[in-house]
Structure 1
Amino acid sequence: MMKEKISVIVPVYNVEAYLERCVESILKQTYTNFELLLINDGSTDQSGDLCDQLASKNENIKVFHIKNAGVSNARNVGIQHSRGEWITFIDSDDFITPDYLETLISVVDSDDSIGFSIARLHHIKNGQITELPVFSGKKEKWSTEETMRELLITTRTSFFPVAKLFKREIISGFIFNTDYHLAEDALFLTEVLLKTKCTSVFIDKPIYYYDHRQGSATTSVNNHVFDTIEVYKIIISEVFQRFPKLRTELVNRECWSYITVYDKIIFTDSSQYRTEKVKLRKWIINHLSEILKDPYFTHFRKIAVLSLLVSPWIYRQIVGLN
């Protein structure tokens, strides 16, 4: 498999403090047949210059400077310019283990039904590196439905495109939807699975450091935060038509989408999103029974949701403890 080239696509936007850490981790890969595409999405800091500096030192790096249009557009540009038989996505404020590429490509065999391989994430906070936990390292092949279920419950994998290696011919006909700014990557994965009916291979090993950084796109709060709910409405509708047996997982995702948006806006200033806070609290309370019966929500989460019956202030205090 060392013969097959991998395209590593990294969207870049105002990450001058983290970009070198990301790129260095990619350049240290044990699997060396790869190209690294840095897509500078109109950065207003020194990220663009840093991309050029890094490229001048390594012939594997290609840089594309584009007008700011969001991470989805940057990923699409990366796909268009990639030349590898396989494609992987890495966020520029995250980083990977030296065997990231080797691990992902080693579990792919000659089975043409396999669309992508998947490994575990290791979650860290604000760059504080913690030791990688030990997992079995075992390989599992998942059917289309099994893959969809695992993506929905996010226990062993994530609904992000990272820590995955995609066969180029599988995703070449798809694009990340630029109409949305959150959860559009989950929609991309859903459409790839449902339309190609591909299978996947999972390896039980953490190889990707996912940095939960304050101020990043997934933690920032703006009007795009409500995209999460709208995108999951699409995902739930499409998946239920194909896999009705996944109803429990889909109900969980629906409830999760409302809860995660509520969790973000409840910590904003009291004058912000007043109407939305009331509407989301009402929706969550109206679905309390489903949430309490849900096998995927933790006891902590269920207690927090119960407190909403009494007071949003109490809910905020409980959620803030986690």
Structure 2
Amino acid sequence: MSKISVIIPLYNKESAIENTVSSVLKQTYKNFELIISDDGSTDNSSSIIKRMALDDKRIKYFYKSNGGVSSARNYGLSKAVGDWVVFIDADDEMLPNNLEHLHSLVANYNVEIAAANVFLHNEKGLFENLNLRLDKNKIYSNIIPALIKHEATFSNGATIFNRLVLGDKPYNEKLSRYEDAEFELNVFKNKTIVVSPMPITIIHSEYAELSRVRSDKMEKDFIFNMNFAKKSFWQKVKMGQFILEGAYTYTNGSHLLKQKYGVNYYWRYVFWGITKYFGGIYRIKKVFGLS
């Protein structure tokens, strides 16, 4: 049974971290270590973890000075000894079959990366299914088109990586927003990945940043630091999605992004058009019972 390293980057999550850690400890798959990479928390988070670690030796707590979530993930990875790695955010939650399901996917399909579906828990306390356009497990040689077609999702807590795929520092430590997006474009571009429609993680979106983002965060946001050179068509379409999201999350975002990217700004419309096209195709197939 392969060992899995579960890595939680932690910074001031005293209201959520105990629930997150408890969800990992309840896994039906038992051969794992839980690495807490504390990025300089100043609240009661560390005390909670140290108390829980007294009762379960699978918890390994490491403290570092504050450097951002990318730095915390990379630091946690440097402490990992498992053959496989799962990152999960400090305010999300694993369902009990999470690790067992992910491990069975990589074992049965002989791949280096596997991803599954998630539930979203919103600010109203309701659970939402992502409703992926996927009925059964499927292998992709390029997952980026599948993400755009809404056949797949990449979520922390619902994706497992072979340790060798990640290298030493897979996350760009200069970024603190949309760092997952750059990671997604870089790691997924040449890898065969199996995707499962089964939800295995609860993403607590009530903790997410809901208001407009201040412009002083642009410097560390991947949305404002993308390089379109030497990118494939599908990578550019995906980057168009990030531009579209940035246009809505930043005050005056459309103007700022148009200034930043010039003609590449219009990939947002390519993304929008392609998603509408594939959405239409999917609905037609559903109406006529086509697979």
| TM-score of the superposed pair, with normalisation by structure 1 | 0.73
Give the aligned partner of residue 320 of structure 1.
Answer: none
Give the aligned partner of residue 200 of structure 1.
Answer: 193
Residues 61 and 293 of structure 1: is their aligned pair in 2 closer, same or farther, counting only changes over 3 Å? closer
Q: Name the SS of the counterpart of 1:107 in structure 2.
A: helix
Alignment length, in residue pairs? 271
Task: Select the residue among 276, 283, 295 that pairs with 2:274.
Answer: 295
CA offset at residue 219 of structure 1? 6.3
Matched, 1:250 2:236: yes
Matched, 1:115 2:94: no
Q: Percent of counterpart pairs with the same letter? A: 28
Q: Distance in 2 between matches of 1:62 and 1:180?
A: 26
CA offset at residue 289 of structure 1? 9.6
Give the aligned partner of residue 103 of structure 1.
Answer: 101
Q: Name the SS of the counterpart of 2:182 in structure 1.
A: helix
Aligned residue identity for 2:112: G
The answer on whether the counterparts of 2:28 and 2:99 sit within 8 Å (CA) in structure 1 is: yes
Aligned residue identity for 2:15: A
Give the aligned partner of residue 53 of structure 1.
Answer: 51
Q: More displaced, 68-77 or 117-126?
A: 117-126
Matched, 1:264 2:264: no
Give the aligned partner of residue 87 of structure 1.
Answer: 85
Residues 161 and 219 of structure 1: is their aligned pair in 2 closer, same or farther, counting only changes over 3 Å? farther
Residues 101 and 128 of structure 1: is their aligned pair in 2 closer, same or farther, counting only changes over 3 Å? same
The higher radius of gyration belongs to 1
CA offset at residue 264 of structure 1? 1.9
| TM-score of the superposed pair, with normalisation by structure 2 | 0.80
Q: More displaced, 163-172 or 28-37?
A: 163-172
* Structure 2 unaligned residues grouped into runs of 5+: 278-291
Q: Distance in 2 between matches of 1:89 and 1:127?
A: 26
* Structure 1 unaligned residues grouped into runs of 5+: 267-273, 299-322
CA offset at residue 160 of structure 1? 4.3
Alignment of 1:18-97 (within 5 A): 18-97=16-95
Give the aligned partner of residue 148 of structure 1.
Answer: 144
Give the aligned partner of residue 307 of structure 1.
Answer: none
Matched, 1:211 2:224: no
Task: Select the residue among 210, 213, 217 that pairs with 1:224.
Answer: 217
The answer on whether the counterparts of 2:9 and 2:89 sit within 8 Å (CA) in structure 1 is: yes
The answer on whether the counterparts of 1:213 and 1:219 sit within 8 Å (CA) in structure 2 is: no
CA offset at residue 263 of structure 1? 1.7
CA offset at residue 125 of structure 1? 1.3
Residues 257 and 193 of structure 1: is their aligned pair in 2 closer, same or farther, counting only changes over 3 Å? closer
Give the aligned partner of residue 158 of structure 1.
Answer: 153
Q: Distance in 1 between matches of 2:268 and 2:109?
A: 43
CA offset at residue 139 of structure 1? 1.8
Q: Distance in 2 between matches of 1:121 and 1:45?
A: 29
The answer on whether the counterparts of 1:95 and 1:210 sit within 8 Å (CA) in structure 2 is: yes
Q: Distance in 2 between matches of 1:263 and 1:62?
A: 39
Give the aligned partner of residue 280 of structure 2.
Answer: none
Residues 281 and 188 of structure 1: is their aligned pair in 2 closer, same or farther, counting only changes over 3 Å? closer
Matched, 1:128 2:125: yes
**Cα RMSD between the aligned structures?**
3.1
